[in-house]
Amino acid sequence: MITLLALASVAATMATGLALVCLVQRSPMSAPGAAVLAAGAAYPVGALVVATWMRALAAMGVEWSLPLALVPPGAAVVALAWMGRNELAVGVRAARTRVARRDAEGVARLAWFALLGWLALRFAFLQSEVLARPPLPWEAWLDTAARGAVWHAWRGIVPFVSPAEWDSGRYLAALPPGHSLPPLLDAYAALIAGRFDDTVIHAPWPMFLLSQVLLVYGAVRTSGAAAVPALASAALVGTLPLANAHAALGGTAALPLGTYLLTAVVFASRATSTRAPGDVAVTAAAIAGMLWSSRAGVLWLPLLLPIAAAVVVRPERVPRLSAGLVACAVIAASAAARLDPFARGASPLMPAPGLGVLAEHALLHGNWHLLAYAALALGVLAWRQWSAPTLAGLSGAIGVGFAVLSVLVTTSAGRTMIGATGIVGHASTAFAPLLALWVAQVSWAWVGAARPPEPVPPAPVVDPGAGDASNAQRPAAPPGDVVLPTPGLDASR
């Protein structure tokens, strides 16, 4: 029963976010990939809404309770029921029709259902793993679950401080306390479940990985790719090994940070072309989630600069501007690595891991090596595609991301914002989904450019002596007869 209630908390959060995303989105849900893209943004936005609601109640001095916890999903269900009669129902019917319709025959259709079944089975295994395993004695228990358990017991937010600041009126933090979004998600799941159970409190974490899969599918599908390549791109993100470990174990801030970063980049890229207020609103919510989910979220904000620059310049100037922003980011990263401005108060006994450790994790270990090799190969072979105006903003974000990653692993920023252990793994988990999206987009653009163009059918040959098209369509008159023009008869009929 406790497992079903934990899953109910996940469904309540998903419904809350889906209602809000559908309210702000004005684009037609019937477009290919639009409904899946909205579903991918639903859970991150819903987690942000319920955490904001709980924090607002605590700020007003109101104790948390189950009826109050059900207010956001209750309002969301009402909004979804109201929207179900128009655009939401149209989007669901359109997605169902595309799945049932036999646009792809033979091997392509078989590959579609095989990938879909594999992803569903993988997600079911991840969800069952996180619902059956207690938190491990690392960040998941020492910070996230510890604060969540105390907040759930007090029905409100109480302070956690370091040993140097501890007194009898506050709680002692075993680790430097991170931001409050992950513990609030644990406390919300415990409120719905009825008690703080160690084996189910991290039920939200696999949903962040599922959101990444849906976001990548929707982004690739809305860019014009077919359903099978879009699903293969989603499978690439859904099978990243270390990201799957973070989803199965739960409790760390790297996976939510990566989801919010991916959401911000995807919807910011859409906003540069659509100028839709809904895309801008989802982007702003994702930025707030980045800043609230992890202390390292502020360092990933520069990735949005190349995409935002596309709003103020012409499309043909976007590659040049993105290259300039990447060069500035590399120079700033080199200066930060030399000066180490984050070293204040950091212990000299814990040096940063360095680029050598990052290279080992990226190219040799079984975590990211295939993704790193694919990115290197596409950077060399498909430079015409990733430097085109349509992908220059995303490519610039990837370049700035590598600069930020180098700062995190060569300075004390990693151990001050992420922790003394797992710097490379946490930073790579946040950046890898976005890199996988770039690999997928560039791959399909490269394959499309290498494909021979379809033959153009020859234009119909018109005999000059046959007169106009209307006369050419009439049957020939017998010799000696006079053909009179028929009123209202033209070529359009």
How high is the pLDDT of residue 260?
97
d(CA 182, CA 188): 10
Placement of tokens 């394959």 in the chain: 447
Residue 224 in contact with residue 407, Cβ under 8 Å? no
Number of other residues whose CB lies within 10 A of the CB of residue 60:
8
Report pLDDT for 89. 56
Q: State pLDDT tens for residues 441-485.
A: 999 889 888 776 666 666 666 555 554 444 444 455 454 444 444
- What is the predicted pLDDT for the residue at 480? 45
Contact 184, 253 (CB under 8 A): no
Other beta carbons less than 10 A from residue 125's beta carbon: 13
Nearest to 210 by CA among 293, 143, 284, 125: 125
Question: 157, 241, 149: which is closest to 197 by C-alpha?
Answer: 149
Q: How much helix, strand and coil, in percent to the nearest 5, is found in the chain?
A: 70, 0, 30
Beta carbons of 39 and 91 less than 8 angstroms apart: no
Q: How far apart are alpha carbons 231 and 172 in whole angstroms? A: 46
Cα–Cα distance between 210 and 96 in angstroms, integer? 19
Task: Tell me the two tokens of residue 323.
Answer: 């290259």
Q: How far apart are CA 248 and CA 11, in angstroms?
A: 18
Could you give the CA distance from residue 493 to residue 491 in angstroms, rounded to a whole number?
A: 5
Name the token pair of 286. 């994702």
For the chain, the residue count is 493
Please report, for residues 173, 177, 257, 463, 474, the alpha-carbon distance to residue 162 in angstroms, rounded to integers and kept in the order given: 6, 8, 24, 91, 93
How many whole angstroms from its chain centre is CA 65? Answer: 31
Phi, psi of 311 (to 5 degrees): -75, -30
Asked if 370 and 300 count as a contact pair (C-beta separation under 8 A), the reply is no
pLDDT at 54: 95
The domain spans of the chain are: 2-101+110-448
List per-residue pLDDT tens for the chain, 493 residues long: 888 999 999 999 999 999 999 888 876 666 788 889 999 999 999 999 999 999 999 999 999 999 999 999 999 888 888 776 555 556 556 655 655 454 556 677 888 889 999 999 999 999 999 998 888 777 888 888 889 999 999 999 988 887 777 776 678 877 777 788 999 999 999 999 988 988 889 999 999 999 999 999 999 998 888 888 999 999 999 998 888 888 988 888 999 999 999 999 999 999 888 888 889 999 999 999 999 999 889 999 999 999 988 777 777 788 888 889 899 998 988 888 777 776 655 445 566 777 888 888 888 877 777 888 899 999 999 888 888 888 989 999 999 999 999 888 888 877 777 766 678 888 889 999 999 999 999 998 898 887 766 666 666 665 555 544 444 444 554 544 444 444 444 444 3
Q: Please tell me the predicted confidence (pLDDT) of residue 460.
A: 64
CA distance 95 to 33: 8
DSSP per position, 354-413: -HHHHHHHHHTSTTTHHHHHHHHHHHHHTHHHHTSHHHHHHHHHHHHHHHHHHHHHHSTH
Handedness of CA 170, 171, 177, 183 (dihedral sign): negative
Tokens matching residue 210:
């599922």
Distances (CA, A) of 396 to 219, 320, 391, 444: 17, 10, 9, 18
Cα separation, 200 vs 192, whole angstroms: 11
Task: Supply φ then ψ for residue 171, to 5 degrees.
Answer: -100, 145
The pLDDT score that the predictor gives to residue 487 is 44
